[in-house]
Structure 1
Amino acid sequence: MSSSLPPRPFPAGPIASITGTAVVVRGDDIDTDRIIPARFLKCVSFEGLAEGAFADDRTELAGAHPFDRAEHQGASLLLVNRNFGCGSSREHAPQALMRWGIRALVGESFAEIFYGNCLALGLPCLTAGHDTMRALQEAALAAPTEPLSLTLAEASLEGYGQRWPLELPAGPLQMLTTGQWDATGQLLSHHAELSRTLAALPYANGFH
């Protein structure tokens, strides 16, 4: 189930657009236990979770799972169906997808907690109606190596000879395009102010 591709950098700061090929994982109500089986939750860090992404499904399909097929290695966009990420609230699920290489998801709908966990990692989750999603998946399956361009501000996907209208609520759009989702990045960007505050704290400088 491993990929020979080098790891790609994780998202950081504002996210305006994402370009890459797509991988399709069909089916409604795909839960977090299928995305990352419980046995992988014993890890002490999120490193290495890419191996666990859809691990049981991939074992069952013996190399035929979309995440194992050669034409999908390096894919950045995951195309899914209804209620993706339902079940437990495990934050390992979007971590596993991100570490495999996914940078955005497009589907009919997403479970609320999974959606929030993705947003906290800078993984946009955009939605489309059933008919649009079905047509988009068919187009992706027919041209698996064709690159797509996802634009967040317009909530649209360009590719396969057309523009696909999507939906992204105003709140997540603002967080993603301004970098507000990236709490660590915001913290580091205020290093000087934090250092001054720390220097002024008596208990941080040996005083009691």
Structure 2
Amino acid sequence: MSQVKGIQGQALPLVGNDIDTDRIIPARFLRCVTFDGLGEHVFADDRQQQGGNHPFDLPQYQQATILVVNRNFGCGSSREHAPQAIIKWGIKAIIGESFAEIFLGNCLANGVPCVTASHDQVQALQGAIAEDPNLMVDLDLTSSSVAYGDQSFAVVLSDGAQQMLLDGQWDTCGQLVQNRNQIVATSQKLPYLQWTTGAA
């Protein structure tokens, strides 16, 4: 299973409250059969409107693995494509003031921690990243903290979500593969899986 104990790397500041899933990935891109290729369309309409000046287009943020957002990020429809588009672009963790519940759950199901902090802490981090795009940000899930430069602050993640990430339990496919022998053993004891043939 894939344990997620922390994410370290450059970050991308995305300023604004109530950024919904339709902005994250417009509806016309939901017809894809797989999620491959969604990353290039993340924030497609916003990026087009801003003519290359959207944070996801700026060259200084192209190596970012951590997204820093404000209040109620991922609100709107429950489309799983929204976190998938962000993930396919290269984001591995999100730090914000608050998240829409379904969006947060969809991120957790993909092993992407969404941690929260106060408005002032998030705003200060966004400002520091804008000032120095090469700033390294360290999200430590074991200590529930974020560190950058000479600054650090505590972040909030529910106990259940934190444990799932630390133990790798978020990775349901990984659990199935890891426990294959137990699954086979259990299936052999189930009477409805024991097929018998005989003359009618």
TM-score (norm 2): 0.92
CA–CA separation in structure 2 for the residues paired with 1:84 and 1:195: 42
Correspondence for 1:56? 45
Bigger radius of gyration: 2
Name the aligned partner's letter for residue 148 of structure 1. Answer: V
Residue in structure 2 matching 1:146, options 117, 135, 138:
135
> Deviation at 1:130?
0.9
Does residue 29 of structure 1 match 2:5? no
**1:36-60, Cα deviation, whole Å (9 max, x unpaired):** 0000100011111101110111111
Residue in structure 1 matching 2:146, options 140, 157, 176:
157
Report sequence identity in percent.
52
Residue in structure 1 matching 2:180, options 183, 186, 191:
191
Does residue 69 of structure 1 match 2:51? no
Correspondence for 2:94? 105
Does residue 176 of structure 1 match 2:136? no
> Deviation at 1:207?
4.0
Unaligned runs of 5+ in 2: none
Correspondence for 1:87? 76
**1:30-86, Cα deviation, whole Å (9 max, x unpaired):** 000000000010001111110111011111112111111111112110000000000
- The alignment of Structure 1 onto Structure 2 pairs a total of residues equal to 197
TM-score (norm 1): 0.89
Q: Structure 1 residues 40-49 or 186-195, which shifts more? A: 186-195
Correspondence for 1:44? 33
CA–CA separation in structure 1 for the residues paired with 2:189 and 2:40: 46
Name the aligned partner's letter for residue 70 of structure 1. Answer: P
Name the aligned partner's letter for residue 161 of structure 1. Answer: D
Secondary structure of 2:30's counterpart equals helix
CA–CA separation in structure 1 for the residues paired with 2:153 and 2:22: 30
Alignment RMSD (CA, Å): 1.7
CA–CA separation in structure 2 for the residues paired with 1:68 and 1:113: 27
Q: Structure 1 residues 156-165 or 138-147, which shifts more? A: 156-165
